[in-house]
Structure 1
Amino acid sequence: MHLYPLVIGLVLFPQVHSLECFMCADGSTCTQMQCAADKNQCGAIRITKYNGNARIMDVTTKSCLATHECIQGSINYGVSREVLTSDCCNSSLCNNKTPEPPKTKPNGKKCFRCDGNGNCSGILNCDGDEDMCIKVSETSVGKTQIKKGCATKSMCLPSKGKIPVISCCEGDLCNDAKGVSGSLLVLAIMLILIHFLSA
């Protein structure tokens, strides 16, 4: 008689706290995985990079995610654009689809962009939810490279002394016409992939 609550607890408790998600990296076969307690969602994250209108990179990963890891956004340098699309859900094995990058159109915001030759006085029309101007500076082998453009607020993580140095601002053309390189989205991609592969 006293074993009845114990048996019910042992049978039901794992079902209450066990979220299962598909886990795979781009091109690999997905497997099912039990999520850790701090991972409360299943997610599919797609990273797409464009050079002009040509899609040059398209990577999807699926895994268990914490709520703060389910972000989306983009960085637009004019000549290239990087898009992070996430689709997160709260039921077991719900991350079986690949999220589609959003269709975008100019939103009226304007930021400075660089042409690749050190001239950063070009003006870029921002697209979709790109609500910030970005400036990225990276020094390699004694040479500083600059990139400027538009970004969504979710992509504007403070760099806090790290390389590349990333700064974002909110007003039109607030990323001044002076000459920044490196890519926050590529940095985010690397951090996400390291996180997934170490899980």
Structure 2
Amino acid sequence: MKLLVTIALTCALFSKAYPLDCFECAATGTGPCLQTTRTCQASQTKCTSYTTAVTLVGIQTTTKVKSCTTPDQCFSGSVNSGISMTTVNTQCCESNRCNDQEPPALPESSTNGKKCFTCAASGDCTSTLECKGSEDRCFTFTAPAIGKTKGCTSQSFCSAPIPQLEVIGNLNCCEGNLCNNALHIGQTILFLLLVPLASFFLFN
């Protein structure tokens, strides 16, 4: 019995030494995601398949991606500034080429009773926004070059490290209605919040 346990543990450790192989592809809109196979880095212990949907002034653009990833990037949720919204639906798995499915974009959700401050294009951040679905946090995104953007977001966006977002600014989240206080600030470009998020999900 002891020998069998030793062999099983040895096999488990030996299998961990091999890097993971995952499908890799990226496609925007309704086009097919033409996948190839990629050997992951040692830190990338999961395969991922996710769909990002960006809605801006009523027009939605979806992006489908398959790749290798780290466990902290396996999250789903949304970030909503009122004028624009980004949703991410992610599926992760741990075996070779297991990411052969394409998750659908998250469906449109109804309001959940939570409210956060939001900013108009003029820079006025005194308006309020009704949060939707899993958006259980208020956020303030501050970038030196563009000022501040405010709105609702899911807790998963607050806790997951997003390097491309961190490069240009700082994302702060809080709990409680209207906790992202309504200070009047200078020029705000809401659309720029979506650029690093989309690039992160596309090129990770």
Query: Per the shorter chain, which TM-score range?
Result: 0.7 to 0.9
Give structure 1 regions of 4+ aligned residues with deviation exceeding 4 angstroms.
Answer: 13-16, 180-185
Match of 2:136 among 131, 144, 152: 131
Structure label with greater radius of gyration: 1
CA contact (8 A) 1:74 1:185 kept: no
Aligned-partner Cα distance in 1 for 2:25–2:167:
30
Aligned-partner Cα distance in 1 for 2:167–2:124:
24
Match of 2:168 among 155, 163, 167: 163
Asked if 1:189 is matched to 2:186, the reply is no
Residues 1-199 of structure 1 aligned to structure 2 (within 5 Å): 17=18, 19-26=20-27, 29-55=34-60, 57-103=61-107, 104-140=109-145, 144-156=146-158, 163-179=168-184, 181=189, 183=192, 185-195=194-204
| C-alpha distance after superposition, 1:33-90 (max 9, x if no partner) | 23333322211122211024320x3212111222112122211011110112211122
CA contact (8 A) 1:78 1:124 kept: yes
Q: Structure 2, unaligned stretches of length 5 or more?
A: 1-9
Aligned-partner Cα distance in 2 for 1:24–1:67:
19
User: Shift in Å at residue 129 of structure 1?
Assistant: 0.8
Q: TM-score normalised to the size of structure 2?
A: 0.74
Aligned-partner Cα distance in 1 for 2:133–2:57:
16
Q: TM-score normalised to the size of structure 1?
A: 0.76
CA RMSD across the alignment: 2.9
